[in-house]
Structure 1
Amino acid sequence: MAAFSAAGIPVLAAPDPARDRALGPGLAAALAAVTGEALASDLRREELSIRLRRAALREHGAAARWRGLALAAGLPVPPHPRVSILLCTRRPEMVPFAVEQMERQRGVTAELIVGLHGFTAREAAIPRTRLPVTVIEASAATPFGEVLNRMAAVASGSYLAKVDDDDWYGPDHLADLLLARRYSGADLVGSAAEFVYLEPLDVTIRRCIGTERFAPLVAGGTMLVTRAAFEAAGGFRPLARTVDGQLLQAVEAVGGRIYRTHGLGYVLRRRSAYGHTWRQPVQSFLASYQEQWRGLVFNELMEDGARWRAEVRT
């Protein structure tokens, strides 16, 4: 049962107390949520699949087992890796929202590097957070990629995670990226931009994007790269735009591997193309989609999205 779950395969199973004790409370609870009715929905099945995989790998994966054995024997274990979150913004009004998205991350040791691009800390209300915070200020004339490189230079983590200031992130976003990095062995991992909120139209769409595979493209606001791969690739290119795509190409050019994991812990907010470093128009997202909902809609893995939904609709 643990192996099926680690592979993301939902299984309908009768209650079995002895089995559940062996699986552990987290995996047992995820398994109990699998019902025939839930599996009838493609989206609900994917949610169940991800919860099963998380629980199985965190409780029964090789790394978890070795740590458990070492702790039981009184042996020291290495600390969990630190993730340095690179949050660069040109919009002072988005800083509180973006910091809150990172504050809610769980199951990961992280620090926050905030890049203020074109304004100073006196002009931005940086809220208090449990995360260690470092602020970098850069003039508006500084290329976006150069600002990101300055931020990476002061980061202390063995992983660098780039996030956007206006997108929504589920509480397990970073933990899922680290998990995908562990089971894929990739140098850079990222999520699919599977869910997109088209703000001018007040519509949320789910796009059909292949996930859990090695692929050359991931969502730019979800990239997590090892420090070694980042440095081998030469960091971000000192450009005003296309820095995400350039980094992906650079990682592949030095022999790095890129892995695209699920997109259920991330919702891309798409405003008008003006003002974005990625100039794809809103209408292009409607060319191909799997599902569509009116308004801002979150799947269950996003958790606690009611307040943001209300804020967007006002």
Structure 2
Amino acid sequence: MDVFDKIFMTDGALLKEYGARFGDERFEALGYAAQPRLHNPVRLRGQHQNRGIGIVERTGAKLADTGVGYLVDGASDTAGKWGTTLETFFEQGPDSAVSLEVSDAVANLPYEKVLTAYKALKCLLSSNPREIIEATAVGTPVVVPAGTDCLVPVEELLITEVHDQVDAANATRALIRSRELRDRAVHLGQRKIWQGHTYAHRAAQVLECSGVHSRPLNGRSMTEVPQVSAIVPTIRPERISDVLTTIGQQAGVDIELVLLAHGFEPDEHQLRVEAADKGLENLVVLQQSRSTPLGACLNLAISASSGTYIAKIDDDDLYGANYMQDQAAAHRFSGAAVTGKRAHYMHLGESNATLLRFAEFEHRFTDFIMGPTIFATRELLREIPFEELNRGEDSEFLRAVVRSGGSIYSSDRFNFVQMRSGAGSEHTWSASERELLATGEVVSFGLNEQHMMF
């Protein structure tokens, strides 16, 4: 080993053993990671979490020897009492062999079908570092035995760590019963993966240790902090302060706000002072007469922007602090021309009801997303500008993208709430509360931001 300056290891236990044995600092952790184009939460029609609990076997070793024995016992209790399945998937390989029958066995799956199998599960039992990262990335909650070392802190990925059979039974039962619990855990875990645990990050780590300093060829790599320009035309001076707060709080991105005053003259000096107070350093202020079509205003804002990505933002909707970085990650892993949200929350002012609309389109390719969530590269928006309309400019843009051969991806439902006041006339899209109630499922009364924004 003296011929190597640096030795990377994927096994935490061996890393400690070799470091102690050879007594030097050449050994470094290089944990498993996700390849976003392969390990991502894009859902297959009709196959999302339609099965129960799963385990993956790839050798002839008994599961008890891999540290998941009491997980299986606990999950078996859940499966027996709650009418779900406990299945073993066998990944193809030279040493693959059936070693355990639980409820069902699905033998000899090639690797890519194992990933598909993950997506069908409500939770996965594992102590394998690669499985833990990959299953989280594709959207499946993972339950692990206490002390599991995957070289990424278990708590960072929001993985459920259990200590005995009873704990395992309760954990699997909770995940089986609660979609909200599953979705929240994997969404937070995925964010951590996109931030620092993709194979692009691992390659950058190796290069840095080798003394090679390089940058990706473009700003769309997961290793690059997204450069995002939020474009916000507004006819309401009273909404500007909230817009500055919303954009100023965005985490995980380099943000620029392009604010276009549509039909009024703002106090630009005061705007810049307030923006700075709210942590917003990059502010572009534009002005147009009220007669200028909304689509033309959007195009002017795009022309004045400097970000790699453009986010179309409405001044009267709510956006969480992680909205931009989640949208940028979805754009990167999906490879879509445009990302946004078709599955989304809506709050109705008159009844104080909060709806979840179009839930079936979460993490799916589609032909339509909500206009206030359009997210695309500046390059695309210059190639396909908005039509100079006052209404329907976003729908026409999406149709043009599809006609050009581009794809549209509807990401997660979180960190965005479309706000509807009691007076539908205040919105560019006019619809009654009863019409809107018919488009979704009421999930709460009141505006529970902690439930939707995290």
TM bracket, shorter-chain basis: 0.7 to 0.9
Match of 1:307 in 2: none
Match of 2:241 in 1: 96
Q: Distance in 2 between matches of 1:264 and 1:50?
A: 9
Match of 1:45 in 2: 182
Q: CA deviation at 1:25?
A: 6.1
Change (3 A) 1:150 1:208: closer
Matched residue count: 299
Higher Rg of the two aligned structures: 2
Q: Distance in 2 between matches of 1:199 and 1:124?
A: 34
CA contact 1:95–1:125 (8 Å) conserved in 2: no
CA contact 2:343–2:362 (8 Å) conserved in 1: no
Q: CA deviation at 1:89?
A: 0.9
CA contact 2:226–2:252 (8 Å) conserved in 1: no
Q: Distance in 2 between matches of 1:179 and 1:67?
A: 18
Match of 1:114 in 2: 259
| 1:187-242 CA distance string (max 9 Å, x none) | 11002352111012211122242211111111211111112221222x11111111
- Aligned equivalent of 2:364, options 213, 219, 228: 213
Where relative contact order (Cα < 8 A, 6+ residues apart) is larger, the structure is: 1
Q: Distance in 2 between matches of 1:296 and 1:123?
A: 32
Q: Distance in 1 between matches of 2:161 and 2:387?
A: 46
Q: Distance in 2 between matches of 1:280 and 1:141?
A: 24
Q: CA deviation at 1:109?
A: 1.2
Change (3 A) 1:197 1:175: same
Give the AA of the match of 2:344: E
- Aligned equivalent of 1:67, options 181, 185, 204: 204
Q: 1:148-227 maps to which residues of 2 (within 5 A)?
A: 148-209=298-359, 210-227=361-378
Change (3 A) 1:72 1:123: closer
Q: CA deviation at 1:289?
A: 2.7
| 1:240-295 CA distance string (max 9 Å, x none) | 11111111111112121111101111111012321322223322121143343222
Q: Distance in 2 between matches of 1:124 and 1:92?
A: 15
- Note the residue ranges of structure 2 that are not aligned, 5 or more in a row: 1-131, 163-170, 217-223
Work out whether 1:2 is the aligned partner of 2:133: yes
Change (3 A) 1:60 1:297: same
Match of 2:230 in 1: 85
CA contact 1:92–1:123 (8 Å) conserved in 2: no
Match of 2:159 in 1: 31
SS for the counterpart of 2:267 is helix
Change (3 A) 1:70 1:109: farther
Is 38-47 or 123-132 further displaced after alignment?
123-132
CA contact 2:353–2:442 (8 Å) conserved in 1: no
Change (3 A) 1:191 1:124: farther
**RMSD of aligned Cα (Å):** 2.2
CA contact 1:146–1:239 (8 Å) conserved in 2: yes
Match of 1:134 in 2: 284
- Aligned equivalent of 1:228, options 348, 364, 379: 379
SS for the counterpart of 1:177 is helix
SS for the counterpart of 2:429 is coil
SS for the counterpart of 2:275 is coil
Change (3 A) 1:274 1:124: farther
Q: CA deviation at 1:167?
A: 1.1
Q: CA deviation at 1:26?
A: 6.1
Match of 2:28 in 1: none
| 1:86-117 CA distance string (max 9 Å, x none) | 01111111111122111111011111100111
Change (3 A) 1:185 1:48: same
Match of 2:26 in 1: none
Q: Percent of aligned positions with the same letter in both sequences?
A: 29
Q: Distance in 2 between matches of 1:58 and 1:123?
A: 35
Q: CA deviation at 1:17?
A: 4.6
Work out whether 1:76 is the aligned partner of 2:76: no
Q: Distance in 2 between matches of 1:80 and 1:3?
A: 22
TM-score (norm 2): 0.62
CA contact 2:337–2:406 (8 Å) conserved in 1: yes
CA contact 2:343–2:358 (8 Å) conserved in 1: no
Work out whether 1:14 is the aligned partner of 2:145: yes
Is 275-284 or 185-194 further displaced after alignment?
275-284
- Aligned equivalent of 1:56, options 169, 193, 218: 193
SS for the counterpart of 1:137 is strand
